Structure 1
Amino acid sequence: MDYIRIWLACARYSVVRTMMFRFDFIMWALVEFFWMGVNLLLIQVVYDHTDSIAGWSKYQMLLLVGSSMLVQRFIMGFVWTNLFEMARNIRTGHFDFFLAQPGNPLIMVSTRKLDLDGLSNAVVATAVVIYAANRLGIDPSLLDLLAYAAMIFCGFLINYAILLITVSLTFWLGAAQGIEGSYFTLMEFSRLPRQAFKGAAGVLFVWILPAVVVSNVPASTLIHGFSLTNACWLLAVTVFWMSLALFVFNRGLRRYASASS
C-alpha cells in the first residue's frame, strides 16, 4: 500500500507538471499520433496490392499492429522516461538519491514519472484494436477479453524487462545511448506476423528474442479465441525475461560506484 500511495503521489505530480507545459504535451502527443498514423497508413498501402501476408488479412494485421502499439504506448507512458533517466543518473552518480530512499530502488526508479503524451495515445491504439475486431466480426467472450488484457500486461512486462536489461548495462559500460536504440529496433518486429518468420529468423525472433510473441499471442487470442498453449508460452517467456532483468539489475547494482565513492 505504501508503494501505491507513492506511485499515486508521483502520478499526481506528473499530471500537474504536464499541465504547466500544455503546449509541449500537445505537440509530443501529436508526434506520437503521427507516428502511429504512418504505421497504419503503411498497412493500407501494402494491402492495396495483396489480400494476405503470411495468412493474415488486412484487418487481422491491423489488430496485430494495434496490439503492438498498445504495449509500446504503455511502455512509453509508464516507464520509458524513468529508465532513460536511470542510465543518466548512473553515469552522473545521482542514482544515490534512489538508494537513499526507504524503498526498493528498482520500484522507486521505475515509477517516479508518467509520460502523459505517450500514455494518451494508448486510447488511440485501443480504438484501432476495437475497430479491427469490429471489421473482422469478432465477438469475444469475457474470458477472451480478460485473457487479452492479461497478455497485453505480459507484453508490457517483457518490454520492460528488455529495456531494464539494456539500461542496466550502464553499470558496466558507463553509457548506453546506442544500446538503448537497439530496444526500438528489436520491437519493430512485434508488428509482423509470427508466420512471416522462417528459418534462422524464426528461431531468433520467435523463440530466442521475444519481439514477436508480445503482440502475436494477444492478437491471436482475439482472432482465434483463448489458447492455453499460447497463454502458457507467453507466461513462461514473461517469467524468464523478468527474472533475467532482475538478475542483471541486481548484479549491476553491486558494481555501482556512488557519487561520494
Structure 2
Amino acid sequence: MWKKCKRYTFLYGKYFSNHLKVMMEYKADFFIGLFSVMVQQFTALFFLKIVFDHIEVLKGWTFYEILFIYAIAFLGRSIHHIFFDNLWTLGWQYIRSGNFDRLLLRPVNPLFQIVAERVQQDGFGQLIIGGIVLTIASVNLEIEWTVQSLLLLFVFIISSGVLFVAINLFFITFSFWMVDSLPIVVSVFQLSEFAKYPLTIYPKAVTLIITWLIPYGFTAYYPATYFFERESMVAMALITPAIAVLSFVIAYWFWNKGIRAFTSTGS
C-alpha cells in the first residue's frame, strides 16, 4: 500500500510539474485566466456588499459572517478546480471519443490518469480570493486564531474540497451509462451556490437536500459556523471530515461500478 501511494505521488508530481511548465510558457494566458476569475468572484462579493448596505443583518447573519462562509466555499472549491477539474470532461473527452479505452490499457488507475491529465490555472484565482476574503472576514469578526483553530480550519477546507470532488465524481460517473452526464453535473453543481449563504435562510426542504442528500452544506456553511461560537452548530461542523470521507467512499464505489458497466466504443 505504501509503495503504491509513493508511486502515485511521484507520478502526480511529474504530471503537475509538466503542467506548470506549460502554463509558464504562456504566461499571458495564465495571468489573464487568473485575473478573470478574481474579477468574477469580486463582482459577486460587490453585489453582496450592496445588499448589506441596505440591510444590517440577514436573518441574524452579518455581512462578515456570510463573507467568512464565502471564503471557505472559495477555498474548498479551489482545490476541486485546480486539481480535479478534468472530471468535467469524462463524457465528451474520454467516453464518447473512445479515449477511455486508452486509460484502461495502462497499468495505472484510470481515475488517477483523468485527474492528473489537467491542472486548471483558473483555480489559483479562487484560492487567492478565498485567502483574501478569509483574512478580511476574520479581522472584522475578531476571531482569535490558535494553533488548534487554524489546524481545524485547514481540515475543514480540505474536507470542503473533498466534498466538491466526491459530489462531482458521483454524478459524472453517470456518463458510463449516458455517454455524457455533464448537463446533470452542471445542474447539481448549481446547488453549491446555496452553501455560500446560511442555510437557515432557506426553506427546510432545501436545507435537508443540501445537508443530507447532496451535502454541499458541509462545504462551507457548517464548517464556518464553528468559528462563530454558535453552540447549536458545533456538532454539525465537527462531523464535516467524516461526511467528506463517507461521500468520497460512496462516490468512488459508484465510479468502480460505472467502470464495470462501461462498454468500449469498439465493442
Q: Distance in 1 between matches of 2:219 and 2:9?
A: 26
Counterpart selection for 2:249 from 239, 243, 248: 243
The 3 A distance-change label for structure 1 pair 120 and 201 is closer
Whether the 8 Å contact between 2:73 and 2:196 is mirrored in structure 1 is yes
| TM-score normalised by structure 2 residue count | 0.90
1:32 equivalent to 2:27? Answer: no
Deviation at 1:225, TM superposition (A): 8.3
SS where residue 257 of structure 1 aligns? Answer: coil
What code does the residue aligned with 2:253 have? F
Displacement, 1:259? 4.2
Are 1:214 and 2:226 counterparts? no
Check conservation: 2:76, 2:161, Cα contact below 8 A.
yes
**SS in structure 2 of the partner of residue 212 of structure 1:** helix
Equivalent residue, structure 2, for 1:174: 179
What letter matches 1:58 in structure 2?
F
Give yes or no for the alignment of 1:131 onto 2:136.
Answer: yes
**Aligned equivalent of 2:88, options 84, 87, 90:** 84
Distance across 1 between alignment mates of 2:89 and 2:213 = 28
- Is 1:45 paired with 2:42? no
In the TM superposition, what are the counterparts of 1:143-158 in structure 2 within 5 Å? 143-158=148-163
Distance 2:188 2:213 in 1: 15
Cross-structure match for 2:147? 142
Alpha-carbon distance in structure 2 between the residues aligned to 1:58 and 1:235: 26
Contact 2:225 2:234 in 1 (8 A): no
Report the secondary structure of 1:175's partner residue. coil
Q: Which amino acid aligns with 1:15?
A: L
Of 24-33 and 5-14, the range deviating more from structure 2 = 24-33
* CA distance in structure 2 between the partners assigned to 1:109 and 1:10 by the alignment: 11
Q: Is contact 2:82-2:124 (8 Å) kept?
A: yes
- Residue identity matched to 2:248: M
Q: Using the alignment, how far apart are the partners of 1:247 and 1:19 within structure 2?
A: 37
User: Does the CA-based 8 Å contact 1:86-1:167 persist in structure 2?
Assistant: yes
Amino acid at match of 2:30: F
Q: Tell me how far 1:12 sits from its aligned partner.
A: 0.7
Q: CA RMSD in A?
A: 1.9
Deviating more after overlay: 151-160 vs 182-191: 182-191
Q: For structure 2, which runs of at least 5 residues remain unmatched after alignment? A: 1-5
Worse-superposed segment, 33-42 or 179-188: 179-188
**Gaps spanning 5+ residues in structure 1: where?**
none
C-alpha distance in 2, partners of 1:101/1:30?
A: 37
SS in 1 for 2:72: helix
Does structure 1 conserve the Cα–Cα contact (< 8 Å) formed by 2:225 and 2:237? no
* Structure 1 counterpart of 2:3: none
Residue 168 of structure 2 is matched in structure 1 by 163
In 1, Cα distance between equivalents of 2:199 and 2:178: 34
Q: Give yes or no for contact 1:51–1:57 (8 Å, CA) kept in 2.
A: yes
State the SS of the aligned residue for 1:95: helix
Q: CA deviation at 1:57?
A: 0.8
SS in structure 2 at match of 1:146: helix
TM superposition shift of 1:232? 4.2
Q: Alignment length, in residue pairs?
A: 260
Q: What percentage of residue pairs aligned between the two structures are identical?
A: 23
